[in-house]
Amino acid sequence: MNRKIRELKPYPMDRLVKAKEELRKKGVKIYDFGTGDPKEPTAPFIRETLKASVPEVSQYPTVKGKRELREAIAKWFKNRFNVELDPEREVIPSSGSKEAIFHFPLVFVDGDSGKRKVVFGTPAYPVYERGTLFAGGEPFKVKLKEEENFLLRLDKLPKSILEETALVWINYPHNPTGALAPLSYLRDTYDLCREYGIILCSDECYTEIYFQEPPPSLLQVGKEGAVVFHSLSKRSGLTGYRSGFVAGDKEIIQTYLKYRSSFGVASPDFIQEAARVAWLDEAHVRERREVFKEKKEVFEELFKELNLKHLPVKATFYFWVRLPEGVSSQDYALHLLKYGIVISPGEFFGEGGEGYFRIALVPSVKECKEAAAIWKRAHREFMEKVS
Ligand SMILES: Cc1ncc(COP(=O)(O)O)c(C=O)c1O
CA distance 327 to 270: 49
Indicate the Cα dihedral angle 208, 76, 47, 240, nearest 10°: -50
Ligand 1, CB within 6 Å, residue ranges: 36, 96-98, 101, 125, 171, 175, 203, 205, 231, 233, 239, 244
Residues 183 and 54 in one domain: yes
CA distance 16 to 78: 39
| 382 CA from centroid of ligand 1 (Å) | 32
pTM to 2 decimals? 0.95
Residues 361 and 248 in one domain: no
Residues 49 and 166 in one domain: yes
Pocket probe mutation, ligand 1, options 11, 227, 231, max atoms within 8 Å of Cβ: 231
What is the residue with the minimal CA distance to atom 12 of ligand 1? 98
- Mean pLDDT of the region 88-115: 97
Domain count, the chain: 2
Residues 98 and 246 in one domain: yes
Q: What is the pLDDT of residues 322-350, one digit of tens each?
A: 999 888 888 899 899 989 999 999 988 98
Cis (ω within 30 of 0) for the bond into 158?
no
| 57 CA from centroid of ligand 1 (Å) | 32
Residue 15, pLDDT above cutoff 70:
no
- Mean pLDDT of the region 188-194: 98
Residues 146 and 295 in one domain: no
Atom of ligand 1 nearest to the CA of 231: 11
Residues 245 and 271 in one domain: yes
Residues 203 and 316 in one domain: no
CA distance 336 to 308: 15
Choosing from 281, 297, 327, the residue where a domain stops is 281
Residue spans of alpha helices (H) in 135-182? 159-163
Choosing from 281, 310, 340, the residue where a domain stops is 281
Name the nearest CA neighbour of 312 among 203, 206, 211, 216.
211
Choosing from 281, 308, 338, the residue where a domain stops is 281
CA distances from residue 253 to 85, 104, 246, 256 in whole angstroms, order as listed: 12, 10, 8, 5
Look up the domain containing 23 and give its range: 3-42+284-386
Q: What is the pLDDT of residues 376-386, one digit of tens each?
A: 999 999 998 88
What is the residue with the minimal CA distance to atom 5 of ligand 1? 98
CATH of the domain at 359: 3.90.1150.10
Q: What is the pLDDT of residues 169-189, one digit of tens each?
A: 999 999 999 999 999 999 999
Residue 83, pLDDT above cutoff 70:
yes
| 160 CA from centroid of ligand 1 (Å) | 31
Contacts of 366 (CB under 8 A, 6+ apart): none
Atom of ligand 1 nearest to the CA of 37: 14
Residues 262 and 303 in one domain: no
